[in-house]
Amino acid sequence: MAAISYIIRYILIVMSNRKRNSTTWVAKPLLDRFKSKYRIDVSGCWIWTGTILKSGYGRLKNLDGKQMPAHRISYEIHHGPIPSGKLVMHSCDQRACVCPTHLQLGSHADNMADMKRKLRGPMGDRNTNAKLDADKVREIRGLFGKVSIDEIAGAYHVTPAAVCMAICRYTWRHVE
What CA–CA distance (Å, rounded) separates 14 from 30? Answer: 26
Site string for Zn ion, 117-156 (x = CB under 5 A): ----------------------------------------
Q: Nearer Cβ to Zn ion, position 98 or 166? A: 98
Give how many residues touch Zn ion by CB under 5 A: 6
HSE (side-chain half, CA atoms, 13 Å) at 92: 18
Q: Is 112 in the site for Zn ion (CB under 5 A)?
A: no
* Least spacing, CB of residue 48 vs Zn ion, in Å: 10
- The radius of gyration computed from the CA coordinates of the chain, to the nearest angstrom, equals 21
Among 74, 94, 137, 139, binds Zn ion (CB under 5 A): 94
Contact criterion met (CB below 8 Å) for 55 and 137: no
Among 60, 70, 97, 167, binds Zn ion (CB under 5 A): 97
* Least spacing, CB of residue 94 vs Zn ion, in Å: 5
From 34-42, 99-107, 120-128, 153-161, span contacting Zn ion (CB under 5 A): 99-107
Residue 43: its H or E element: none
Among 37, 71, 72, 102, binds Zn ion (CB under 5 A): 102
18-47: contacts with Zn ion (CB under 5 A): 45
HSE (side-chain half, CA atoms, 13 Å) at 59: 9
Q: Which of 101, 83, 65, 87 is nearest to 139 (CA)?
A: 87
What CA–CA distance (Å, rounded) separates 137 from 176? Answer: 9
